[in-house]
Amino acid sequence: MRVVFVPSTLALLPEYASIDDPIADLRKAVVEAVDWLVEDGPAAFGKATPASFRIGEHLLGTRITSSTDERLLIVANGSATRTEKAPGHFDERAAAFDEMIGAALREGDPAALGRIDESLAAELWAPDAGLFRSVAHRVGSVESAVVDYDDAPYGVQYWVVRWQCAS
């Protein structure tokens, strides 16, 4: 099974594109990870917020399937409270929250993702955090984890991560 995690930023959608792409590195990482995900067939994606649904639908296009145990796209990001200028303004708990998720993604630890506090996630403006948790129940052991992107532009934590899981 393959799992790819991408952020739920609307900036990935064509209608939000601009002449000067402020997220070029992120966009490149997302496209490469999604291409890896679907190279052998269509993928399913977890649906949480309307934004994550739109992004997942856009990224997969005609490569969407309603269910698969082989390929899964998770569209979610960390907190949006990393700095004063972040959408949710600064919250001192954001860095630790994001580090816990980041460590679980880097280490391929679905059980750790299953322990995300969704109440805290809501307070930190991470409405899709439940999708991270859902992975804990869908995958077995993770054989490899590749981090393609890990940054918090605009005070919002984004990851692009690929997991190759045991079948």
pLDDT in tens, 76-105: 999 999 999 999 999 999 999 999 999 999
Question: What is the DSSP secondary-structure string of 1-53?
Answer: -EEEEE---GGGSGGG--SS-TTHHHHHHHHHHHHHHTTTS-BEE---SHHHH
| Predicted confidence (pLDDT) at residue 161 exceeds the cutoff of 90 | yes
Q: Give the predicted TM-score (pTM) of the model.
A: 0.95
Amino acid 41: pLDDT: 93
What's the one-letter identity of residue 51?
A
Q: Quick one: pLDDT at residue 66?
A: 78
The full set of domain ranges for the chain reads 2-165
Q: What are phi and psi of 2, to 5 degrees?
A: -115, 140
pLDDT in tens, 9-54: 999 999 988 888 889 999 999 999 999 999 999 999 887 789 999 9
- Cα–Cα dist 118/146, whole Å: 25
Mean predicted confidence (pLDDT) in 116-120: 96
Average pLDDT rounded to a whole number, residues 135-148:
94
Q: Is the predicted pLDDT of residue 137 greater than 90, yes or no?
A: no
Q: How many residues does the chain have?
A: 167
Q: Residue 95: its pLDDT value, please? A: 98
Q: Right CATH number for 2-165 from 1.10.3080.10, 3.40.830.10, 3.90.1170.40, 3.40.50.11540? A: 3.40.830.10
Asked if 5 contacts 59 with a C-beta cutoff of 8 angstroms, the reply is no
- Listed as own residue / partner, the contacts of 90-99 with beta carbons closer than 8 Å and 24 or more positions apart are 90/155, 91/123, 91/124, 93/120, 93/123, 93/124, 94/124, 94/157, 97/121, 97/124, 97/126, 98/152, 98/157
pLDDT digits (tens, 9 = 90+) for 49-72: 899 999 999 999 999 987 777 999
